[in-house]
Every structure is written in structure tokens, then in C-alpha cells.
Structure 1
């Protein structure tokens, strides 16, 4: 817990970044003077307190097994690299290994189990290293990245009042439809070749690139819009009505999925897994990532995003990661190893 009562993952402490927003996660992170040792809880010990036979740190790191040893005798008990110190020996490990809890033996580092795994998609741990692989439809670029095969990736976006596709390789913008006014949300159905958008008046439109049709008219406040490409249905959130809706793509009918104790904004769907995930504003300044089945059942929180001023939620389905934008932190942010199921 930070001093301002925001909670962050433990691995972000002392990483050189102001993750707490009040810099309290970077306090007591420097060296503890000559030959001193810092405990995981932040307390500094003097050189005399190290290897004095008494455990001062909560994890016992001030009393390693190598206290009083020298490297010239049995490599100081180290399995790999041994360095003489005034208090004993310091054992170190080569790349791809980490020191065990006894501070003497190096064990394989499972890079794939790290908070942010090095591979874009599949990661296989090997002794002292790891190997990256890509899902079908992607190819490995370099050692870690996965690029989609086939046609160049295109981004559905706006240029002034024109809805279109931006070719990320050539940077060419292909106009799909002139809208006349700027929409508040966009989505597409790649399977059926249709594009959808919502405007500030609470209306939903669709186009196939030739004709435009209004398929729904309701209350203003639409914020998130997503397409169930598996079944062709549309999902949207409305911040004013504080609800999540599902409707037929032709506008023939719609229903309210969730409307109790929620305040949803951005929304993404995972149709193959029948899941939807959204950003939800709770009491006070509490903001969370929420998930539920696509019928609105089994709602549960995924992560707390308080104090990030978050928007722009999207999913990398292949890598099973969620991404969003933080206005407050001025960075793109992502979750890792998200348990969607």
C-alpha cells in the first residue's frame, strides 16, 4: 500500500518509476551505506548486524548460508559465481538463473512466469533461457514479437469526419464513409464486412461502405461499443443510464444486460469465451476492470485502476492481455496473465 492508500503490485516497488503517484514506492530503495543491507520491508541494517547470528530481516536475508565463508574453499558454497565480501561470500548467477532462498545455489529462472513475460504470445521455459512461439496466423519477428501474416494490418479510425481504415505499413487512409459528425464510439464486424458507430445523441449507425443506416436511437451517453462477431450482435454502454445493452445488428430489438450498481464506460468482448470486460466507476474514486459472461451473469472484478484516469480499453486476444490508456500517468498500460476464465 502506498502512503496515499493506493495499492500497487509488489514487483513495482523500487523499480525507479513513480507508480504510487506520490513516489512512496520509491522511498527507502537506495543503498544502506558501506556493507549495509536493506531488508525487503525497507529497513536498513548496519554491516555489524549482517551475519551476527540474529535474524533482523523478515526473510532472513541478513543471515545467508554463506556467512563467514571464503571463495577459496569449496567456492564458498556457491553453485556458480563466488565473490568474497567482508562478512562472507556473495553468490551470483549467470543470465537465465536466479539465486535460491539459501543465497548459495542458482536455479533456473522461469522467464515465462514473470509478471510481464518476454514473449508476445506463447512462451516456453528452458533451462537457463526460454523460447517464444506464435499462434496460428502469426509469425515470429525477432525473438519475441508476433506479426500477423497475410494482408497489412489496418486500423479503423477517423480522419476529420471520415470513417476509414489506416494501413499501418503504407500509412494510406482508405475512406469508408463520410459521417458528417464525429462519433463517440466505433467498432466493426470483420466477418460480415460492417462498421458501426455511435454519436453524441445516443444513436447507433451501420455501414457496409456503400450505404449508411441508423439502427438504434436512445438516450445520449453512449461510451463503449463492441461487436460480437460470432453472432453479429452489438453491445454498448451508456454512462448516463449506467447500463450495458445488447442489440440485434439490424436494429430490430435490444435488451438491457446489466443496470444495477454499475457505471460502465469502455467495453471489449471475447466472443469465443463468451466474456465481456469493461471499465467501471465505483464509489468515490474507485475504478475497476470488471468482467462477466456476455449475458450479464457472473460479474466479478479483474483489477483496480483507481487514480489512473483510464480509457481506451482494448484486448489482444492472441496474447490474452488487456490494454488501456492512462491520462494521469501519460502512458499506455496493460494487464498481464489475465485470468479471463
Structure 2
């Protein structure tokens, strides 16, 4: 026992001589004055001191030292393991007198994954010992803190007052910050960023776990490295003089306020060449495509369809017929004949249907894409319809008629006037179901393009300047752009969905003398032109390569692409709504709202509807197809009610289908003359049941 005590005393003398402190040996309390668990006898203290001998060799007692050389990490961890085995049976309270903070530090350095990170960066930690700029930095710390009384290896609050504790904490934080500055020098960050990160974590551990409190205001490493990378980038992208005149590399431009070269956001400024998605990067940009349907092509800009087997077809209205044509213009096929005046069409990919408006027979119909099985879905108030758009998600059909926008189910059972008195001369309508948005054009004296929520909650004009006859309209649902043609200005233009970042694609009377309809297919826009009497296409981004695909015998009208990628399958929020009549997508199409046909009101349950038809002016249809029909359509030769209530007890028809027969049976009028404010029937029946405008 005497030998161990003597060795321990010599150890304490050695420690305090090196540190320049006066040795203080606390009075050992008697066994009776301490609980058994806290009692530490001199034998255990002597053993602990002896066991720590080899470990102390890695403790540098210079005042500015915070941890041993990390290049020796394997030896340090071996000695730590030996020390723990040696003191396995020593009361752990005895270890508090043997450099306790350093043991905690060594335990941190030797744990996973810290040790592994240090080993991986060994070459960089050897540089710390060799590189002149690093050794100079550490020598400078020694000079600055030459008068400091303590460092981590001397810092102990057991026998100091509160003022001393504050001073020790302040001094230690200074050393930690100065050490951090050495490792955060630009040259070391450039050569050894991972080693700098490891050292930063070690210093943070010392500050937070071994200091009295706080982290010494060390910066977050990711902020440091980001600032360093920005500064390094600034050195390579160009320079600016005091007057703000800058010479910047490609992809950057000078900023007069900061007098620095800054990144050009090609995506925001629409100067990119991406077909669908643009992602800005430092000094450039990269393109991406809508996943599952497209893949980025080899040129890194355009998008190729993953499904190369399914052909894309163009369907177009031809007045008295509907045709399809291959997207390369090589193949024609008649789809529907025997029409009178069909100008507007749209498609439903899910059910393989074409919707079209024949204002000559006052009907909206749908047929299979092969032209079979025409099925009427609306046989009244078709005159004046200038645009139709299929909502392929919530399964509705939107129409623009005269001053209003209507919505109805795809089978025509339920119909509602969604926006009233928003148009004067509507021309085109398009639907972006992925965003819950409608877009329409008006070519009155104050022409405009409008954006509207599909649930009827908002209608606003987004393009009002530099627009005269906005005939055609289409939407790139993947790039989120609208395209339109102005038949007066002879241009094709594009813009963001809010009307911003407007850009002219084609401005050439020879290429676009009188556009009527338009659609988009991947990298191309297709349009019908009355002057050419044909179908043309061009690159959607720059208008290059204008090509006449085909010419037609009569004037071509609306044109639509038919391929599954133009109407991607997405979750339909209406499937869970259980609406009794209409279900309308809300903005962004993540949710929906129930609504009712005209003549019905929504009940408190928010799902079902109750009739409030006007008995004086409307017919209440019964059966499984309840609706309110204006009495203008009584006995017009077409059954509007499923229970045929509107065609019962009628006089013989003398007029053609679609015409209005005066109630005195003396005159036949075209549908457009109904409710036009001019009485043309002798009995005034053509103006009898008109709603106020």
C-alpha cells in the first residue's frame, strides 16, 4: 500500500510542476463521514494514478492545447482501453482526480463514428503538423494566450471561486474560437473540408460538454462551408470594380447594388430551353421531365415519352365532320360525318370519347374515338357555345356560352351556370385539371384571357394588353404554360399560368395568318389555319420549323391531341365526396366541393340537393334525372327529361330538329333567335320564358 501511495503522490507532484501550479492535496475524509459508495481510499487513488501513466503521455500540457494530435488516434484509443481495464475495479469516484475532462474527451474521440472519421482524414490531420500556415496559426494562439492561467488540461473548478470560474470559461472559449479559426482557414477548407468538419465537431463537444456552459458561440459548420463555397465561387465567376462595372462569366451578371457577379435564374426569366421542368443551378440550369410518363432525352432539354408504342393522333372539327390525322400528317381518317356545324371538340382519354358541339342541330354529343355510338348529352342552350373543355379528373364538361361559363357532368345529367356575365364574346376554353384551373379567351373590343377556378370561386383576367383576336388557346400541363394565337396580330404567344413572363413564339403573317384552333404535343404546338385551310406545327419554345402537315377541303376548326399522356391519371378527390349531383375541383385539385344544378340548392349536409325550380317558367324533370328545364324547350321535338315530361301532350311538329316552333304553330325559328329581345312569333312565345340577363 505504501508503494502505491508514494507513486500517486509523485504523480500529483509531476502534474502540478509541469503546470506551474502549487500542489494542493485535499484532506482525505474519514470512512465514517462518507457513504460507502462515495468513499475513495488512497489505494484506489494510487491505482488510478498508476494506470493513467501511459495515457498522460498523450496529454500536451501547453496552455493552448485542447486535444492530443489526432494523427495518433489509434495509439490514444489503445491506451484508453488499457486504462479502463486497469481501473475496472477502482471506485469510479477515484477517477475524478485523474484528468477527468481528458478521459471524457478521449472517450468521445474513440467512439464510433468519430474515430473512423479521424482515421479517414489522417492525411489531413498530418498536414496540421506540417503545413506552415497551420503551424503559424497555432503558434500565434500560443503567443496570444501566453498569460492565460489555464486550458482544458488545467481547467478545474474544484478549488476556485465563482469569479475564477467565469475567467476560466472566458479564457477557454477564446482558445476554442482561435483553434476553430485555424481549421477554418480557406486553404484548409479547400484541401480538407471533411477534416475541418471533424475538428469543428470536436471543438463543439469540448465547448458544450467540457466547458461550464454554452458552446462558445461557435458557428454552425454548414453555414461556414456554405459561405466559404460562395466566396470561392465569387473568385471564379468574375469581378466588379468600385463603379459597379462587372466582368462575369457565362451564367452570371453584375449586380449594381452588391457590386458582385450574381447567378442568372434562367428558369424564372424563361431563357431556358427545357421542354417541361427547369431547375436553376449556379451559373446554369438543368432540365427534368414529368416522371412515369416522360424521360429526359439525350440533348438534356426535351422530354421523350416512355410509351413509344401508343401512337398520338390529332382530332379536328371540319364543320360537317370530324377527322383524325397522325401527328406526322401522313394518315387521315374520317371519324364522324353527317354533322351540320361543328367547330368545338375535346377528348376524354379515360373513356376513349370525343365531345363535340354541333350548333347547327343544337346538340352537344360524345362518341367513341372510332366514331361509333354518338350519344347526346345536351340538347338545349347549345347555340352560342364557343368553347368546351373536359375535366378528366372530376369527370365534368365545361362550356363557354355567350356571357357565361357552365359546368355539367360528362353524361349531361346535371348542369350549372358557374360564372355569369364574365364574357362578351367568348372564343376558346381550356382546362388544367392538375391545377383546378380553367382558361378562356374573349375577343370583344376589350379582349382578354382569363383564369378561373373550376369550383366557381374566382375569375380574373390575366392578359389584357397587346391582344385583339385571341382565337386559339391550349395548355402545356407539364410546363405549366398557356399558349394562344391572335388572329388579328398574326402571332402565337405563351405565358405562365398567371399571365406573367409573356413571350411571342411566332410573329409572322405568312406562318399564322388566321389561326382558329390549337393543341400541344410534347415539344410541338399544332394549329388549324383558315388561310392555309390546313394543319401546321412548330417548336413550342421558339416557333422554329413551321411545317404544314396537311390541308383540308373546308375550313378546319378546333383541334385536340389524343394520347394518354395529355390527361395523366391522378387521384380524384370526388371519389370520396359522394356528391348527389356535381363535384367540382378546388384550386390545386387536391380537394373538391359538392354543388348542384341550376334550380337546386345544396343542403346542409354539403352533399345532397333540393329542388327550387320556378313552376312558372321551368319544367321539373322527374325520374332518376332530376333537373329544371326552361319551358322554352317544351315540345321542341327533343326529349330533355328522362321521364319525357317535356314532350307530353304536344302538337304535331312542323319544324326541323333544333328549331323553335312558335306555340301558335305558324312559324319556325333558329335556336339563336330565342330570347334575343325581339319577338318574332306572333304569339310572343319565343320571348315568353326568358330569364333576365
TM-score by length of 1: 0.66
CA separation of 1:295 and 1:113: change in aligned 2, threshold 3 A: closer
What is the CA deviation profile of residues 104-134 of structure 1, one whole-angstrom value per residue up to 9, with x for unaligned ones?
Answer: 5322212112145432221122222111111
Name the residue aligned to 1:11: none
1:273 is the counterpart of 2:435: yes
1:138 is the counterpart of 2:294: yes
CA separation of 1:125 and 1:303: change in aligned 2, threshold 3 A: same
What is the CA deviation profile of residues 265-301 of structure 1, one whole-angstrom value per residue up to 9, with x for unaligned ones?
Answer: 311122233222212457xx32222222223222222
1:328 is the counterpart of 2:483: no
Corresponding residue to 2:384 among 218, 221, 243: 221
Q: Structure 1 segments of 4 or more deviating over 4 A?
A: none
**Offset, 1:306:** 4.8
CA separation of 1:112 and 1:225: change in aligned 2, threshold 3 A: same
Q: When the two structures are aligned, how many residues end up with a matched partner?
A: 257
Name the residue aligned to 1:185: 344
**Offset, 1:182:** 4.2
1:257 is the counterpart of 2:412: no
Name the residue aligned to 2:554: none
Distance 1:79 1:251 in 2: 61
**Offset, 1:320:** 0.5
Larger proportion of strand: 1
1:13-24 map, 5 Å: none
SS at match of 1:120: coil
CA separation of 1:172 and 1:182: change in aligned 2, threshold 3 A: farther
Corresponding residue to 2:355 among 172, 196, 202: 196
Corresponding residue to 1:80 among 238, 248, 261: 238
**Offset, 1:98:** 1.0
**Offset, 1:99:** 1.6
**Conserved 8 A contact 2:406-2:418:** yes
Distance 2:353 2:493 in 1: 29
TM-score by length of 2: 0.34
**Offset, 1:314:** 1.0
Q: Tell me whether 331-340 or 296-305 shows the greater mean CA deviation.
A: 331-340
Name the residue aligned to 1:61: none
What is the CA deviation profile of residues 6-55 of structure 1, one whole-angstrom value per residue up to 9, with x for unaligned ones?
Answer: xxxxxxxxxxxxxxxxxxxxxxxxxxxxxxxxxxxxxxxxxxxxxxxxxx
Distance 2:497 2:387 in 1: 24
Name the residue aligned to 2:139: none
SS at match of 1:329: coil
Distance 1:173 1:114 in 2: 40
Gaps of 5+ in 2: 1-234, 500-586, 589-693
SS at match of 1:112: coil
Q: Which has the larger radius of gyration?
A: 2
CA separation of 1:129 and 1:273: change in aligned 2, threshold 3 A: closer
Distance 2:345 2:451 in 1: 21
Gaps of 5+ in 1: 1-76
Name the residue aligned to 1:27: none
What is the CA deviation profile of residues 70-126 of structure 1, one whole-angstrom value per residue up to 9, with x for unaligned ones?
Answer: xxxxxxx9973799xxxx995432221112215953222121121454322211222
CA separation of 1:79 and 1:215: change in aligned 2, threshold 3 A: closer
**Conserved 8 A contact 1:78-1:91:** no
CA separation of 1:112 and 1:79: change in aligned 2, threshold 3 A: closer
